[in-house]
Amino acid sequence: MNQTTQILIVMISYLTLLILWGVYQGRRVKTHTDYAIAGRSLPGWVAALSERATGESSWALLGLPGLAYASGLTGIWTAIGCVAGIVTAWGALAWRLRDEAERYQVTTFTDYLAKRHGELGKWIRVVASLTIVFFFFFYVGAQFLGGGKTLHALFKIKPETGMLITAAIIVPYTVYGGFRSVVYTDVVQAIVMITTLVVGPVVGMIYIHHHPGLFASSIPEALTKAGPKFSSITGAVTGFSLGALLMGGFSWFFGYLGGQPQLSMRFMAIRDPRQAKKARNVGVLWTLFAYLGALTIGWIGLAIFGPDGLQDQESVMPTVILKIFPPALAAVLVTGAIAAMISTADSLLILSATELSENLLNKGKNGTKQGHSLMRSRIVTALLAVIALVLAYLSPSNLIYTLVGYVWAGIGGPFSIVILFTLFWKRFHGRAALLTIITGLIFTIVWAGSGLEEVVTARITSFVASAIIAVAATLLIPKAKQISGK
């Protein structure tokens, strides 16, 4: 049996079992609350693994290793920013959002903001939901792109065809089982992902040490031979360029502070405070091992292939795994890339669908029958998947890192400010929240479109601009009269 056949059999078996597992979990969905937030009854370890798998996506298994391969040690700054944000979120925000979700009986991310700022709840629902859906089209597209790249690396399938196959894997169980199916398939994927990110680097370092004739026989040697840009933690730059480099890497921190709805929903769905503590421990440990592994795989790729050995930097993970492992085992581990992509794409789809269905299409009709509500959510989910796939084909960028960074600026920065101020500043009110969201949307689009992204990343400027508007609006604009936000 040749290598391609072995890999194909393993991947088809895994993905088939994954779909069946998702459908099985979907059979337990009886109400719209089950579909949208799993009845707010998730065990801590399930919520943590689902949050981590969703948060890392094809970013951690394709984007970050690709960055490490292409830039060397400077990739550390991005990892530091992400890890700091994740640890802060689990330590300071997760349990608070869980308690708030229970207190206000919410089913979506914007449902919480609307009920918390009831004086402008209707407008917050509409504007926040539209903003989330707009940016998440690009995020889902990045996951489809990740699937296309992985299948191309494995089977030389055209990336466009691979994207279509990826969508065909994700959509059925997501449409059927909603948030519950997504969360429990995420658990499987988080395990596969962390296995890849722990086992791959260990075996990779042994491989390059025992195989002469490669670009280098160790990671330090590879970084040194590749040049100062790779071997210096500052990228061999100084002055303003160094400041921009450091800010660009650490800027990922701001998007994790409650501003990513697909992650905050995992916090909100945890069963009770005791489970929230368990979730925090699992989430932080998973993160530390995963980020160290992702960077190391990129540097191992540099040692094997050299800085100019790969046409696409973001194919380094599957290419390295195929090089150092037997075909069948490589297929299991490379499935981690597919798993990473699936775990975020399905989460983004279901969150976008519930936001659109509940906050824009339902028009506040709380008396809608559960069966009708479920059917509407499933139809919307399927339609959004089709639109996201089309946008992925039309996207001007083919780098996952770029697409994810764009969403991190437009969603992560502004919504992080809104969540932080909502939780920690009593004077913050609905008018300020609404202006902050609108500012983040417009600012990110203008900043990215003007080319200023090449000077200073919008992940920082969007966060700062949103914070300034939030503070000014809170202090200068009076709170609106209380009306129903439901």
Domain boundaries, the chain: 3-398
Write the single-letter amino acid at 118: G
Which position has the higher pLDDT, 302 or 176?
302
Contact 260, 32 (CB under 8 A): no
β-partners of residue 484 are none
Give which of 217, 224, 388 is closest to 300, Cα–Cα: 217
Give pLDDT, residue 485.
Answer: 41
Give pLDDT, residue 308.
Answer: 92
| 3-class state of residue 485 by DSSP | coil
Provide the CA 256 distance to its chain's centre, in angstroms. 10
Domain 3-398, classified CATH 1.20.1730.10, yes or no:
yes
Tell me the per-residue pLDDT of 173-193, one tens digit each, with 9 for 90 and over: 777 777 888 889 889 889 988
> Taking 70 as the threshold, does the pLDDT of residue 370 lie above it?
no
> Taking 50 as the threshold, does the pLDDT of residue 269 lie above it?
yes
> Taking 60 as the threshold, does the pLDDT of residue 114 lie above it?
yes
Give pLDDT, residue 401.
Answer: 62
Give pLDDT, residue 400.
Answer: 62
Report the percentage of the chain scoring pLDDT > 70.
92
> Taking 90 as the threshold, does the pLDDT of residue 172 lie above it?
no
Write the single-letter amino acid at 400: I
Give pLDDT, residue 486.
Answer: 41
Give which of 84, 96, 106, 95 is closest to 40, Cα–Cα: 106
Give pLDDT, residue 398.
Answer: 57
Mean pLDDT of the chain: 85
Tell me the per-residue pLDDT of 411-441, one tens digit each, with 9 for 90 and over: 889 999 999 999 999 999 999 999 999 999 9
The Cβ-side half-sphere exposure at 430, using a 13 Å CA radius, reads 23
> Taking 60 as the threshold, does the pLDDT of residue 297 lie above it?
yes
Confidence of residue 443 (pLDDT cuts 50, 70, 90): very high
CA dist 50 and 55 (Å) reads 8
| 3-class state of residue 270 by DSSP | strand
Confidence of residue 257 (pLDDT cuts 50, 70, 90): very high
Question: Which pair of structure tokens corresponds to residue 429?
Answer: 């009110």
First to last CA, the chain: 60
Confidence of residue 292 (pLDDT cuts 50, 70, 90): very high
Stretch 379-407: mean pLDDT, rounded? 73
Confidence of residue 373 (pLDDT cuts 50, 70, 90): low
| 3-class state of residue 42 by DSSP | strand
CA dist 306 and 62 (Å) reads 17
